[in-house]
Structure 1
């Protein structure tokens, strides 16, 4: 008889489950490599003379169906396999630390250490650089193979046309085809809830970097594509071609509109523009909708199959985000700190599981109806199963207005409508921390918030599994003023937990850089504000229920199947009879618009149905949360780190002593990060950094240079 796992602990995966997950990873890798091989073979004679005729004979389908089979189906298959893999993946495996501690990151440590730190690419590891170089090599091969084949069979079509002009036209056309390879990958990194990101251990924030790389490559290629065509038309007295919209071939006007949309997004995404005028960048990036629309109209539905998988996955993710954002969530309380930071505490469904460093997007209509801001989740779903918390520091107009709005409410109650998207995270991030002998967390200002969730998760892990030994922890936090020291109060949940934190081997080194000595001003303790719920409020819950990954895979497969049925019916019963007539050809634009309409209908219909079905199952949980109306008596938060005249404030509880004894506060200087990091003993030391770009680069440089091969760097950056 099989032993039943203890309550609250998860059964370790069996050998069969581990083998099944390994097989899924292998299948996903083989299919993805095969997809890249198809891209590499596509511009060669092997495809045009051998593969394409055989596929047409064997399947009996047209060119559009073959493109879908070769370029769309493999990516969606990998996506569905990733969903099943993540569904079977058992987080909280008690044997994971023992399996990973000895071999964690050792085989791949050299590939994950920072290689390039300061430069246009940001902080880059050898693995990332290798993949970037392979992508560039594929692009060069793809373009050169196409151009070589085109030049070999070139013919002069126009009277007086010169050879160089004919070659320029062919080269310009194939630049557009090459850019489609970048667009095929462009949307995958920005699908926040995608199963592909956690499959390879990426977060939605970290993957934005790859979206930037691909976007820059695509726009360089498309700009060259457009300029080459303009040069060709001008040199052959065909400049009027810029105003033509052909009925059954490339629509030039649509291509020009695509390029203009892309240039607008590209210009506003430049770092200098994005950081100074973020809202301009944000709203300009919504031009991706006409960009995709005009791109499809420009190349036609058959060539659009190249970029369809990324667009399809992003469309499903965007639809789910929209549906989740329509729900008003239950805001339970807020903790106001003297440094004008506010901790928002939401009611959470117990079935919602997330990992440390997860990100939640928050919208407060009373502050701004359109603005969505990302914040790191500071709570632990293991330690606090019914609550989800984020911390908002006053750094801009939106955050200051939010603090003023919350602080103006009476402590006994109030209403504040809030909507959220997420949380988004990488798979198994929490168990990764247990694989280190020591863990160093370096933060600057509000960059401490990701580490609050890490510490709370380690508190739970150290208490939940007796065989698990938590790593030695060093938290190095840098603040500008002593008022910001109250951010350390957030290490302790509102419900308490000081005695649990004392189980950790934790040392805190806090540095106040703009004050030479403790401030003599008396700091007021923080206070709590409790909110009254509206009848429509609901807890933060998984958008597709407790079996979200499995349901997401079913949504992707079902919506694609519906799309194929609709397109096949359109082709067989409407378009084919017209195309079969030798005197008529069905217009490209109409056919493309119908395909896009079916794409939107299949995605919206299936995704909406899945969302509503799963929402029905959470009605009972919603009722339980709504039954709690009004504030619940709770202990006032313990203010640990308020300073008055250089003397610590009198403690409200003795259990705070271990945490205070582990904390050293330094005034008037920055930390010697190099000395601290190189002085850490142990064969396997994790180094996590979160904060300003300069601090991230400094820590990355220390971890990448010289002898500290035991230092494993991980960057948590929200600089988009």
Structure 2
């Protein structure tokens, strides 16, 4: 009896390595702490918490109510954040063949990740998103109900006041408490370099949707909170309280100013206004700074501890982004496409690694000093270790001015000052793409750019033979005119066809909707024009890694150290400055002064620690920058790979048979693709479906994948319409 007979009917499951066990233990620890944090929120409005738990916690912390809320509601979130940094670091250090991780979670979570709501105000919502949303709404309802029950049980009607008026005041007050629960989570999804988003498989772009949900909910609750108080004051002839700034209680004026700032952000963030007047939305959203300050003054430092972790982590992220954006990066070259798009190529430090579908935020001061716009990174850090590329479509005021600025530079070489933030990458890397038998990528117009980085990365993976098998690739791209077909030339960085291993099976179906036939004299596969090379200034530096994706442990250390410094400053303030005043029964330290001092300490601790860590990390980046050779001409994938990995890689690529891009492309004129027929025609067991483009196209693809006609389709949306 041989080994095959012995193994028949059962699979040999390899025992997990020590690193895998460590990752699972870290992930379990983070999950337990997070669930405990949610449970404490659920218990906060109950009588059990206020009468039994709170006194015991106060005795343990020794810093009164502020100490309780710091320990129970701020520390767990920061602890999970640091644990997530450790987990992501261990995940980056893991070895082995990516093929061994195929389908580890696809089958288990396929039903939960399938879209269940497609067309509606919430956009495309998966099963797990809907479940989490319903549970969160249930938590809000419970939170408010429990608070109202306790408040009404001890209600005291003041002289000259009616019962319903007393109840209205308590109901209005607790609406503000419910809003604080939304604010506790509001800033977490918009911290672009956060470790919490990749921990749960989200990108910074995907997190925007949850920020919008939380923002709409919070502003609806805060608006009701303010209107109820105004109605209460008017009904009890106390409208003068709107101008009151209490010394030791909630400041009404600060609350009104915070509400006005929130309403301005809320109104300008409406989809119709945001898309038509993006600059108005962009500048109005900077009101988040006075919104935070006035909210803290209105709540008081005790209540502000509830929302402290989100504000603190966002402050760390924003400070790091600010430090990175101060540097001018080296723009190597650009090339213009007949479709009106421009490709910008930046010099990059080889130690900077980014995964496919990464996003880079770009600022061009000569176009606008304040505006930052996100673009998909089209290059692959494996295939192009010293360059980073983005493609910008000429549409809209900012992009139009950028296109005119770049095109006005002399072809012999000019200079353009550019700053960047990022790139921000999904933590999973190329593994999710390799986990499918087939990968169908559907794009509309400029939506093809995220798929360029995927195909380039898979070209590298196929050439290196790092996996036993590669997924079959189908790219369905829809363009309005045949001039936009030049976007296909960007699928690989070389000026030739598509070089790849025989195992890379790529098919491209391109559809030109506004033309019934090719234009006379117009070659659909016409090559882009030659690049224009820029002259760098001595101060220009290559795009270098910032804390986060390329340094999770550093980021965890920064968060831990800055929060420890903040706690130390607050403890000194409390013990030696505030406590002696409060100890005197005739005096109470003013709420506003105490709150502003806490905000000042928060800013000082974050700025000092992040600044020191960033400067330390830049020392290593500066050493790497000195090793980068000046780029004097276009580089092919062969030379790039040779430069990164040695001559053996070059010989391997040279020995591969070429697959010209034109041979893999079918161009259709005068109609749109029948997506339903194309998707249902893919009969592989595990098919990944990715869509990027207009919202109508995303909804159509999501509807097909969620219809139940094919259980093998696993949908993922890549959208930048926020």
TM-score when scaled to structure 1? 0.93
Equivalent in the alignment of 1:144: 145
Question: Superposition pairs for residues 628-639 of structure 1, below 5 Å?
Answer: 628=630, 631-632=632-633
What is the rounded CA distance, in whole Å, between the counterparts of 2:83 and 2:128 in structure 1? 24
- Superposition pairs for residues 384-423 of structure 1, below 5 Å? 384-423=384-423
The one-character-per-residue Cα deviations of 1:247-296 (angstroms, maximum 9, x if unpaired) are 00010000111111111111111111111111111111111100000000
User: 1:170-213: per-residue Cα shift (whole Å, max 9, x none)?
Assistant: 11000001110000000000000100000001011111000010
| 1:182–1:633 Cα change, 3 Å | closer
Q: Secondary structure at the match of 2:500?
A: helix
SS of 1:371's partner is: coil
Check conservation: 1:91, 1:431, Cα contact below 8 A. Answer: no
Describe the shift of the 1:104–1:582 C-alpha distance in structure 2 as closer, same or farther (beyond 3 A): closer
**CA contact 2:188–2:310 (8 Å) conserved in 1:** yes
Q: Is the contact between residue 346 and residue 388 of structure 1 (CA under 8 Å) also seen in structure 2?
A: yes
Question: What pairs with 1:78-117 in structure 2 (closer than 5 Å)?
Answer: 78-90=80-92, 93-101=95-103, 103-117=104-118
Q: Does 1:295 align with 2:295?
A: yes
The aligned counterpart of 1:489 is 489
More deviation, 346-355/504-513:
346-355
Q: 1:512 to 1:53 in 2, by over 3 A?
A: same
CA contact (8 A) 2:471 2:505 kept: yes
Does structure 2 conserve the Cα–Cα contact (< 8 Å) formed by 1:91 and 1:428?
Answer: no
Summarize deviations over 1:14-42 as a string: whole Å, max 9, x none: 71111111011101110000000000001
Q: Kindly tell me: are residues 59 and 466 of structure 1, through their superposed partners in 2, closer, same or farther at Cα, counting changes over 3 Å? A: closer
For residue 645 of structure 1, what is the aligned residue in structure 2? none
The reply on whether 1:604 has 2:616 as its aligned counterpart is no
Q: Using the TM superposition, give the Cα deviation of residue 548 of structure 1 relative to its aligned residue in structure 2, in angstroms.
A: 1.3
1:192 aligns with 2:200: no
Q: Residue 501 and residue 359 in structure 1: after superposition, are their counterparts in 2 closer, same or farther (change >3 A)?
A: farther
**Alignment gaps of 5+ in structure 2:** 1-13, 639-655
SS of the residue aligned with 2:470?
coil
Structure 1: 5+ residue stretches without partners: 1-11, 638-653
How far off is 1:399 after superposition?
Answer: 1.6
Q: Distance in 2 between matches of 1:216 and 1:293?
A: 20
3-state SS of 2:607 partner: helix
SS at match of 2:247: coil
Contact residue 365 and residue 417 of structure 2 kept, 8 A: yes
- What is residue 131 of structure 2 aligned with on the other side? 130
Match of 2:32 among 24, 30, 35: 30
- Secondary structure, in 3 states, of the residue corresponding to 2:117? coil
Question: Is residue 617 from structure 1 mapped to residue 620 from structure 2 by the alignment?
Answer: yes
Give the match's secondary structure for 2:717. strand
Whether the aligned pair in 1 keeps the contact of 2:425 and 2:549 (CA below 8 Å) is no
Pair 1:348–1:501, CA change in 2 (3 A): farther
Note if contact 2:19-2:94 (Cα within 8 Å) is conserved in structure 1.
no
Match of 2:448 in 1: 448
Q: 1:218 — aligned with what?
A: 218
The whole-number CA distance in structure 2 between the counterparts of 1:276 and 1:105 is: 39
Matched residues in 2 for 1:458 and 1:606: separation? Answer: 39
Aligned to 1:372: 372
**The 10-residue stretch of structure 1 (513-522 or 493-502) with the greater mean CA deviation from structure 2:** 493-502
User: Does structure 1 residue 155 correspond to structure 2 residue 156?
Assistant: yes
Query: Which position in structure 1 is the counterpart of 2:544?
Result: 541
Q: 1:496 to 1:662 in 2, by over 3 A?
A: closer
Deviation of the 1:498 alpha carbon = 2.7
**Which of these residues, 530, 535, 551, is aligned with residue 532 of structure 1?**
535
The answer on 1:708 being equivalent to 2:675 is: no
Give me the TM-score of the superposition, normalised by structure 2.
0.93
Cα offset for 1:94? 4.0
Cross-structure match for 2:650: none
Residue 506 of structure 2 is matched in structure 1 by 506
Matches within 5 A, 1:345-364: 345-364=345-364
State which drifts further: 425-434 or 307-316.
425-434
Structure 1 residue 502, shift from structure 2 partner: 6.0
Give the aligned partner of residue 339 of structure 1.
339
Q: Distance in 2 between matches of 1:459 and 1:13?
A: 31
Deviations 1:420-478 (A, max 9, x none): 00011221142110000000000000000000000011111122234431100000000
Mean Cα displacement is larger for which, 49-58 or 89-98?
Answer: 89-98
Alpha-carbon distance between aligned partners in 2 of 1:495 and 1:13, rounded to the nearest angstrom: 46
Q: Deviations over 1:351-378 (max 9, x none)?
A: 1111111100001112222221110000
Map Cα deviations across residues 546-604 of structure 1 (whole Å, 9 max, x no partner). 85110000000000000000000001111111111111111000000000000000000
Task: Give the drift of 1:335.
Answer: 2.1
* Alpha-carbon distance in structure 2 between the residues aligned to 1:302 and 1:95: 50
Are the aligned partners of 2:512 and 2:670 in contact in 1 as well (CA < 8 Å)? yes
Secondary structure at 1:25's aligned position in 2?
helix
Mean CA deviation greater in 407-416 or 671-680: 407-416
